[in-house]
Structure 1
Amino acid sequence: MKFWLQVFICFFSISCQSQVATNPEVIPNDKPNILWIVTEDISPTLSFYGDNTAKTPNLDALAKESIVYENAFAVVGVCGPSRSSIITGMYPTSIGTQHMRTGKDIHSWGKRVYSKNTEAIDLDGNNIMEYSAVIPEEIKCFTEYLREAGYYCTNNQKTDYQFAPPVTAWDQNNTKAHWRNAPKGKPFFSVFNIGTTHESQLWKKADLPLTVNQKDVNVPPYLPDNDATRKTIARHYSNVELMDAEVGQLLNQLKEDGLYDNTIIFFYSDHGGPLPRQKREIYDSGLKVPLIIKGVDAKVGRTDRMVSFVDLAPTILSLAGIKPPKYMEGNAYLGAYEAKPREYIFASSDRFDEFTDRIRAVRNKQFLYLRNDFPELTKYKDIGYRKNIPMMTVFLNLKAENKLDDNEKIWFNTKTKEELYDVKADPHNLNNLSENPEYASALSEMKKILEAHLKGRNDFGVQAENQMIATMWPDYNQPVTLIEDIEINDGLVTLHSKTKGASIAYLISDKKQNKLDFNSPWQLYTKPFLIAKGNYIYAIAQRIGYKESKINEVLYETE
């Protein structure tokens, strides 16, 4: 062993007396801190979008210091597929995460049990088992690129990616995850998920006092205007006010830490509103979301630039000075690698819980075009979960009694093969123009744009889901990630996995560890590193969708 290598390992041994050694990579000091505040199930029904029903002083103040996006869209009108797009920078249909829901989104660690007896039915009439989507091998959670660049990445706590997040995705991924846990001198990327406005809270908070008067709410024309509907809408706006208080708490913590002025802050919702004909729908009511971003080059104001959730991953990498990988289907709209503005956003709709369908859509600033592959099906799906919403019983009873008006009936009618809406003249997407000859040119143009987008692009939704699972999970058994033995040569540790596309995590300890789990302080392996004699090295590998490998352990023994 060379003398200088011996000196370095001696120094490394001194620095490794704590339980875990961090990656020795030097971290640049010019990386911005980034905070995501993610709420659930709300459309742009906030005061800075012109809806003053809910009082949101914290968001109002933040919006005044931010860029307010007037054309931000989810890729699917429900959380799981949209969140898979957010974390990967890919369309769900391109990676096999388009169906909601694949399984319980937890890390296995011996706890996850997949059931083959769900109520979900695919296009061929087969029952669907729970599974974790196996996505193409080259695709990673974008946070791995941030971690490799020196970021401390935390998620508190929801993931819902349609696959269990690999241990390499986050430094912390639990209810205690916080930027305050970042090592001194490291930039952070922190996500906080607020569930207060989720669809389920319409019934779980039904007994709480309303802070919004139901007489003051606006009832969309596709919902019956009655006491039950107004009370449910008032509950939602009251939940928005509760959510705003939680946003205020996070912003105050940033200010207490002296980080508010040098942190880029995103606020957005994971898809559109929670009401009937909102969540799960491929209309603006399900896809259009609030988005504000504070702290980017002191930019303040409003923009009608079209952005999609598939753009979030490359945008964060661009803001961090990291060139987005070529495989990503999204485009950065801020930062060093900002792309030219997009003209169109694309969306999809496949299985939601028990019911399967297939719809593809494209939207620009003027029109929304939908291609319905199964026009004989109704847009309405009799999803058991949604029927917990307090107003749904009354809504369905009115339908059964034939007491709905034409706009309220639309949701329950069978579809046409195509739909076209002028979103400026018809923001609720009620007047289908696809058979109106005056709009034949717009229909043709939007149809061609969608076809060009889909051409040559893999669409997992074309395949019956049961067949897709069989390709991901041979014989319907989850594949397992493999990891080779840990190699140590003169203190230099090299880690490999025999599974293509696997990421590897490791930790170093001066004591033998008997209870390592998902919340242990794993480090992302990016290149060989040195270890001092007398220390233990632990390594684990996982390809997304696979079960994680066994944990390998090696003691680098003293002579």
Structure 2
Amino acid sequence: MSSPSSSSPSDGLNVLLIVVDDLRPALGCYGDKLVKSPNIDQLASQSVVFSNAYAQQAVCAPSRVSFLTGRRPDTTRLYDFYSYWRVHAGNYSTMPQYFKENGYVTLSVGKVFHPGISSNYSDDYPYSWSIPPFHPSAEKYENDKTCRGKDGKLYANLVCPVDVTEMPSGTLPDIQSTEEAIRLLNVMKTNKQKFFLAVGYHKPHIPLRYPQEFLKLYPLENITLAPDPWVPEKLPSVAYNPWTDIRQRDDVQALNVSFPYGPLPDDFQRQIRQSYYAAVSYLDMQVGLLLNALDDVGLSSSTIVVFTADHGWSLGEHGEWAKYSNFDVATRVPLMFYVPGMTTSSISRGERVFPYLDPFSHILGLVPQGQSKKVVELVSLFSTLAELAGLQVPPVCPETSFHVALCTEGASIVRYFNASEQNVEEEKDGYDDAYRCVNEEPVAFSQYPRPADTPQWNSDKPKLKDIRIMGYSMRTVDYRLTPRLLLEGHSRSRYSFLESQATQPLRSQRNASPGQRAAVNLKKGFFSQQIA
């Protein structure tokens, strides 16, 4: 990869931010041998790819508000869907707002902010966007009965391959979003304006509704169960999420699965996994069409492309079928950055970088241009994109920042773009650069609230007034620790170890919330006892 100095503020790079809903790193470029994702893999082959990137909360609205403001959920005060940060926390600037204030035309297509109260019923327009955000007309049918059963009737199913021509309006939301994003790219080419275009794709979010032809890519006999499909014997009950949302789907209800732990039948587990992979390949097609259009308008040489997701999704691991937890499968996300002249060699104007690859015929595997095992967080996206675009990087937030409009709680990760794996190993043991000198170990914080210490019907999405326990997950390259803190006046704190225990204390508390600092202190106390 070229050095960061090859891109400067004078370059005036555009930004294309692609945000996917519920996408775990089930992609060829992340080593998945089953999933067919040639277009995303092609993007990875021109990008730096982070293999250990984590969301700050594994649910849509809190995660999106977190990385779009550069603040953690404890600062946005959004753990559910029912508050707007500018009213209930602080008038925080957002990433697109910052680009807008720096001369960019900012555009939103599809699901970028979560719709509803959490973005003021406007996707934070006009603060964040230059024009009203585009939402596909087909979005309103997402939860309707559009899945045709074997009896010919329509159902609101979880597993939902469809004939697109039979859908309301004869299309699907992600198809409409791709079409609108391509239209806007052509407008931006004509207007010759710097742009920040965010495109949010729905799939593979449930319901798993996608064009039925994608099932052909994944014969059911090739689909295996999760490698660890059972609820762990020693799992604290507070850590478990009973996947309430999929229980509301017609096909799952018909199975009469017991609450909260009752397993799904093996054959239905395979169908869910099959449909998730099919939905990923459908998504890959949309991404391929969009990136091909970026080539068509001659903007691949002047546009940063970022690809990520708001969080992951459990495909039967630990007996779960959801996000809503601190498990890695729920918090770990794909994250890659394509930066012309930095992650690739110089690209001539008009040179094709992203020719469309048909997932039904393209089988060549492509590897990332550069891959980092650094543990990074989505909350760093704001400062990272600002630096890549040549803008002044917003300052680090003070310990209490509710009154500060512009600051971020995530440091830029551009410094990792050229880090070799040897450097990664060195930094695990020492302090080999300026960032290490602040006595900081790479770590990701995620968190998830619970209404009680046993599974409840609202364990997945408790409202703020019902939250009693907050789990804070701290992730390094090799280890994860998840203390759980009792909230709202409880003097006791309890914590449980869900995975392997590290062999040295976690030192970093920079930009951590009070709850996260308490979790770090718990870990320090644990290790002082263990070492003693």
Q: Please state if 1:210 is matched with 2:169.
A: no
Change (3 A) 1:54 1:30: same
Structure (1 or 2) with the larger CA radius of gyration: 1
Q: Which residue of 2 aligns with 1:226?
A: 266
Q: Spell out, residue by residue over 1:441-467, the C-alpha distance to the aligned partner (whole angstroms, 9 max, x if none).
A: 54xx24x756993449899xxxxxxxx
The letter of the residue matching 1:293 is F
Q: Secondary structure at the match of 1:243?
A: helix
Q: Which residue of 1 aligns with 2:422?
A: none
Equivalent in 24, 34, 47 of residue 43 of structure 1: 24
Q: Please state if 1:196 is matched with 2:203.
A: yes
1:420 Cα shift?
4.5
Q: Please state if 1:96 is matched with 2:55.
A: no
Q: Which residue of 1 aligns with 2:110?
A: 157
Q: Is the 8 A contact 1:150 1:187 kept in 2?
A: yes
Equivalent in 414, 419, 427 of residue 334 of structure 1: 414
Q: Secondary structure at the match of 1:358?
A: strand
Distance across 2 between alignment mates of 1:76 and 1:309: 10
Change (3 A) 1:455 1:279: closer
Q: Please state if 1:56 is matched with 2:63.
A: no
Q: Please state if 1:421 is matched with 2:520.
A: no
The letter of the residue matching 1:186 is Q
Distance across 2 between alignment mates of 1:268 and 1:239: 16
Change (3 A) 1:234 1:280: same
Change (3 A) 1:373 1:455: closer
Q: Which residue of 2 aligns with 1:142?
A: 95
Q: Secondary structure at the match of 1:210?
A: helix
Q: Which residue of 1 aligns with 2:382?
A: 313
1:135 Cα shift?
4.9
Q: Which residue of 1 aligns with 2:245?
A: none
Distance across 1 between alignment mates of 2:95 and 2:414: 16
Q: Is the 8 A contact 1:40 1:197 kept in 2?
A: yes
Q: Secondary structure at the match of 2:119?
A: coil
Equivalent in 447, 461, 473 of residue 348 of structure 1: 447
Q: Secondary structure at the match of 2:32?
A: coil
1:86 Cα shift?
1.3
1:314 Cα shift?
0.8
Q: Secondary structure at the match of 2:313?
A: coil
1:208 Cα shift?
7.0
Q: Which structure 1 segments of 5+ residues have no match?
A: 1-27, 104-130, 376-414, 423-432, 434-438, 460-559
Query: Higher helix share goes to which structure?
Result: 2
Q: Is the 8 A contact 2:314 2:329 kept in 1?
A: no
The letter of the residue matching 1:247 is V
1:133 Cα shift?
6.1
Change (3 A) 1:337 1:197: closer
State the TM-score, normalized to the length of structure 2.
0.59
Q: Please state if 1:170 is matched with 2:129.
A: yes
Change (3 A) 1:416 1:96: closer
Q: Spell out, residue by residue over 1:178-207, the C-alpha distance to the aligned partner (whole angstroms, 9 max, x if none).
A: 343337232111111111211x232x4597
Distance across 2 between alignment mates of 1:46 and 1:83: 21
Which structure exhibits the higher relative contact order, with contacts defined as CA atoms closer than 8 Å and separated by 6 or more residues?
2
Change (3 A) 1:168 1:279: same
The letter of the residue matching 1:39 is V
Distance across 1 between alignment mates of 2:105 and 2:207: 32
1:52 Cα shift?
2.0
Equivalent in 464, 482, 485 of residue 373 of structure 1: 485
The letter of the residue matching 1:453 is A
Change (3 A) 1:72 1:81: same
Q: How does 1:391-470 map to 2 (within 5 A)?
A: 417-422=495-500, 441-442=503-504, 445-446=505-506, 449=508, 453-455=512-514
Change (3 A) 1:46 1:77: same
Q: Which structure 2 segments of 5+ residues have no match?
A: 1-8, 136-179, 231-262, 344-368, 396-406, 419-433, 451-459, 488-492, 519-532
Distance across 1 between alignment mates of 2:51 and 2:91: 33
Q: How does 1:527-538 map to 2 (within 5 A)?
A: none
Q: Is the 8 A contact 2:214 2:279 kept in 1?
A: no
Change (3 A) 1:315 1:135: farther
1:359 Cα shift?
0.9
Q: Which residue of 1 aligns with 2:12?
A: 31
1:145 Cα shift?
1.8
Distance across 1 between alignment mates of 2:86 and 2:220: 42
Q: Which residue of 2 aligns with 1:78?
A: 59
Q: Secondary structure at the match of 2:129?
A: coil
Distance across 2 between alignment mates of 1:133 and 1:358: 23
Change (3 A) 1:207 1:322: closer
Q: Percent identity?
A: 26
- The two structures, once aligned, show a CA RMSD in angstroms of 3.3
Q: Is the 8 A contact 1:277 1:285 kept in 2?
A: no
Change (3 A) 1:298 1:453: closer
The letter of the residue matching 2:67 is I
Distance across 2 between alignment mates of 1:228 and 1:154: 40
Distance across 2 between alignment mates of 1:304 and 1:369: 19
